[in-house]
Amino acid sequence: MRNITGIVIAVGLLVGLSGCQAGMMTAVGDWISTDHIEGNYNTLDVGRDYTGDATLYFYLTGDETLYYQDFDLAVADSVVQGNDHLLLFELRCDGSSCSDLDFQLECEVSRDEDELSCEGEKVWETYENFDFERD
């Protein structure tokens, strides 16, 4: 009986992990924001190793200058529950002295897996240009 229980647990873990991997594959590819800022689009470029790069355009409060920042990104998690699929990205500022811009990006995946509707955290919590489509 112990061996059967161990096999059932092992199979359950493998099925759960393969579901997570399959869900993470959804993130792979090039994504572009659905809206632009002065003709510039935010991008997410995710490789098959679930890491990549992002570029975000933004304004600072009270400043009319358009800024951009490059980030290194990694897919941190994929959660599929029923019809809902969420992807969690870790974005780390690419440069020195900008770690205050690091954040997590939580994205809801569309049913066709061709759109992401995302929300940021920390200084990006109120940022409104986090909707992406496949490029």
- Let me know: does 26 contact 53? Beta carbons within 8 Å: no
- Most distant CA pair in the chain: distance in Å? 69
pLDDT at position 82, please? Answer: 84
Domain ranges in the chain are 2-134
User: What phi and psi values does residue 11 have, to the nearest 5 degrees?
Assistant: -65, -40
The residue among 110, 114, 120 whose CA lies nearest residue 89 is 120
pTM of the model as a whole: 0.81
**Alpha-carbon Rg of the chain, whole angstroms?**
18
**H/E segment holding residue 72:** strand 66-81
54-100 confidence digits (pLDDT tens): 999 999 989 999 999 999 999 999 999 888 899 999 999 999 899 99
d(CA 4, CA 124) in angstroms, rounded, equals 49
Tell me the average pLDDT of the chain.
86
pLDDT at position 96, please? Answer: 87
User: What phi and psi values does residue 44 have, to the nearest 5 degrees?
Assistant: -130, 125
% of the chain exceeding 70 in pLDDT: 84
- Let me know: does 117 contact 131? Beta carbons within 8 Å: yes
pLDDT at position 21, please? Answer: 59
